Structure 1
Amino acid sequence: QELGATVGEISVPEHSLAGALWSPIGCEGLTAQMMHGNGMGFNWKGQYDVALLDKHAQWRDNADALSPSLKICMFVGQYGLERYHGRYYAKAQNIARRARAGYDRALADFDLLVMPTVPLVAQPLPEPDCSITEYISRAFEMIGNTAPQDITGHPAMTLPCGLVDGLPVGMMLVGRHFAESTLYQAAAAFEASGDWRMF
């Protein structure tokens, strides 16, 4: 408000759909486009970086080096593609239109939505010898507020906005489709307003 913004509260009930939708969309999409598609994917228009595609394809020669969270996404994605032939990916994409519409309704009244980047304060890193279950659980506990934007395609950015117990807290800005400039303007105004560590 001190920077000239009008601030209000709004609810986006469809936000809660994101976790369930992200699993098939994120895992099957990642497997098909990023891993099988070697970082370039398929059927999009634009410049394909053949050298990058060749480099990315080398993951197959060193799959043990992939993180456990990536491996579980690939496992779930490949299972969904092979066992269900993309059925749950398709269903999730169809339902994702409701999530997009919910954000669009909220953004009809506001230029930006603001929320915490992650739904919890910074946590200690898992111990190097922690179980794979703990490692993966810790990785996915952070995506509750970012997954919806992955699903709906709304532009979003995060910036540090303060400290809790000496650790940074992120503020995520979400904007209308094709209105990235509004995000940049708001972020620049916030960053120019002072040292985020003092807020």
Structure 2
Amino acid sequence: MNYFDESLTSIHQKLVAKEMSATELAKQTIANMKETDKDVQAFITINEDEAISAAEKIDAAGVDEQNILSGIPVGIKDNLVTKGVKTTAASKMLGNFKPIYTATAVQKLTDAGMVMVGKTNMDEFAMGGSTENSAFKTTKNPWDYTKVPGGSSGGSAAAVASGQVLGALGSDTGGSIRQPASFNGIVGMKPTYGRVSRWGLIAFGSSFDQIGPFTKTVADNAAMLTAIAGQDQHDLTSSDKAVPNFAEKLDAGVAGMTIGLPTEYLGEGVDDSVKQLILAAAKTYEQLGAKVVEVSLPHTRYGVAAYYILSSSEASSNLQRFDGIRYGFRADNTKNLEDIYVQTRSQGFGDEVKRRIMLGTYSLSAGFYDAYFKKAAQVRTLMINDYTEVFKNVDLILAPTAPTTAYALGAEVNDPMTMYMNDAMTIPVNMAGLPGLSMPVGFADGMPVGMQLIGRPFDEVTVYQAANAFEKATDFHKQNPQLGGQN
């Protein structure tokens, strides 16, 4: 069982028709994962026994004919806690951590009948853009094993792109769902901040983090987001706005819509091949009846600098709890309390995590708070105002997801500034808390390119509507990788 040419609908129909049981599906999925993942390395933990047990319970109760998610295997990023199942955040610090509760988003998928088959690899504590910062393994891009899958949710994206699962959850702090979706040629959605509960997500930047789904198709993505969205009493930042069926207007088309094309997203630093594919997508939308206009988001150029000050500041605060006292890794042969703290954090955290803790602590320190953190927060407000103005005249914004296709493993992991700039297209969306979806827009040199659709706050319905219209007009989502080969 690989899922290259399947969808939630096609698998659901097979389950309902009893062409296969949920248990058989889980077993076949796990068998394929074990074989495929020898090369892809998308999973940290394969949840075999628990998954088969969950599938058996679904079969005993009967697959829900009205629920497209019933009995479907799913992958979960390893920074979402899962009761009794190891949750590491890809860090030595949590190498053997088994949580005592399950994250709300994961629980909602389980309640909807999805079967968690494994925990996916990621950059340590979600800090990175290539999944090379994991303490345990390096995930490969299914289209070319010499290329990165993106990050930090690279394991979830690679698991879907390589046909191991139909859907997976990731988290997005500055582009960590959308950028790997672009690099892997699949659909990835970062919902509006507050649309999905963050309870049970191991925090990186609390005012930026959002959980969202990876899938092969827009319709599948909308179905998964519908299942996980909604207010949660455990998360006071979760919104009380009503959750629509995000698939309700999938087939409504884009006729009459106005789509903005920001000049700042098509300038210096964006590969010409990427730029041409985005311009071609704009023409496709015009042919489908939308109006495409040029817009400006002038403070975009400050986004990367402001984001890394703000998110690192929040990270330095959030990661204080990992001190070797309460849970997680503790260094051996320490002499006193201070030594426990110093040695535990020195040995337990990787270089990128230490880099961001140091940057954040510096930005929050006396004498520098006003110069750095406060200024960055003011820039964030200016960026929010840019979007507010643009959305007075457009329904959506169309932009590249990333400035390039997936780059070679090892090419940028030792060059933090270059790696940070890869997020220049995605960071502004997190700064403003907006919904953003990446989907395939074509190929360059045999590698997928993603386009980003950015919507008004809590208007994921329109984002999905426009994404589905493009998907129906093209066949990029039907292209599958020759695993690790020349594509």
Q: What amino acid is the match of 2:355? A: I
Q: How does 1:23-62 map to 2 (within 5 A)?
A: 23-32=308-317, 34-36=318-320, 58=328
Displacement, 1:86?
4.0
Aligned with 1:103: secondary structure?
helix
> Given the alignment, which residue of 364, 380, 405 partners 1:81?
364
Match in the other structure for 2:454: 174
Bigger Cα displacement from structure 2, 148-157 vs 159-168: 148-157
The correspondence of residues 15-164 of structure 1 with structure 2, limited to 5 A, is 15-32=300-317, 34-36=318-320, 58=328, 64=347, 66-84=349-367, 86-87=369-370, 88-126=372-410, 133-134=414-415, 136-164=416-444
Shift, 1:23, TM fit: 2.0
1:165 aligns to 2:449 (yes or no): no
Q: Partners in 1 of 2:346 and 2:475 — Cα distance? A: 42
Distance (whole Å) between structure 1 residues aligned to residue 329 and residue 380 of structure 2: 30
Indicate the SS of the match to 1:73: helix
Q: Letter of the 2:309 partner, please give it.
A: P
Q: What TM-score comes out, normalization by structure 1 length?
A: 0.75
C-alpha contact 1:117 1:172 (8 A) present in aligned 2: yes
- Asked if the contact 2:471/2:477 (under 8 Å) is kept, the reply is no
- Structure with the greater relative contact order (CA < 8 A, sep ≥ 6): 1 or 2? 1
Of the three residues 10, 28, 31, the one matched with 2:295 is: 10
Q: C-alpha distance in 1, partners of 2:442/2:432?
A: 27
- The aligned residue for residue 186 of structure 1 is 466
Aligned-residue CA RMSD (Å): 2.8
Moved more, 180-189 or 166-175: 180-189
Q: Give unmatched runs, 5+ long, in structure 1.
A: 39-53
1:44 counterpart residue number: none
Unaligned runs of 5+ in 2: 1-284, 331-343, 480-487
Contact 2:310–2:373 (CA<8 Å) still a contact in 1?
yes
Check whether the contact 2:405–2:449 (CA below 8 A) recurs between aligned residues: yes
Q: How many residues align?
A: 177
**Cα deviation code 1:144-178 (max 9, x no counterpart):** 11111121212212112110111111101111112
Distance 1:142 1:11 in 2: 20
- Percent of paired sites with the same residue: 28
1:151 is aligned with what amino acid? M
Larger Rg: 2
Question: Structure 2-normalised TM-score?
Answer: 0.33
Look up the equivalent residue of 1:106 and give its one-letter code. V
> Residue 126 of structure 1 aligns to a residue in which SS?
coil
Larger helix percent: 1
Q: Distance between the aligned counterparts of 1:79 and 1:180, measured in 2? A: 37
Change (3 A) 1:197 1:101: same
- The question of whether the paired residues in 2 share the 8 Å contact of 1:157 and 1:174 is answered with yes
Once residues 8 and 141 of structure 1 are traced to their aligned partners in structure 2, the CA distance between those partners, rounded to angstroms, is 26
Q: Shift of the alpha carbon at 1:81?
A: 2.3
Displacement of 1:143: 0.8
What is the distance in 1 between the residues matched to 2:320 and 2:396? Answer: 36
Closer/same/farther in 2, CA of residues 59 and 13 from structure 1, 3 Å limit: farther
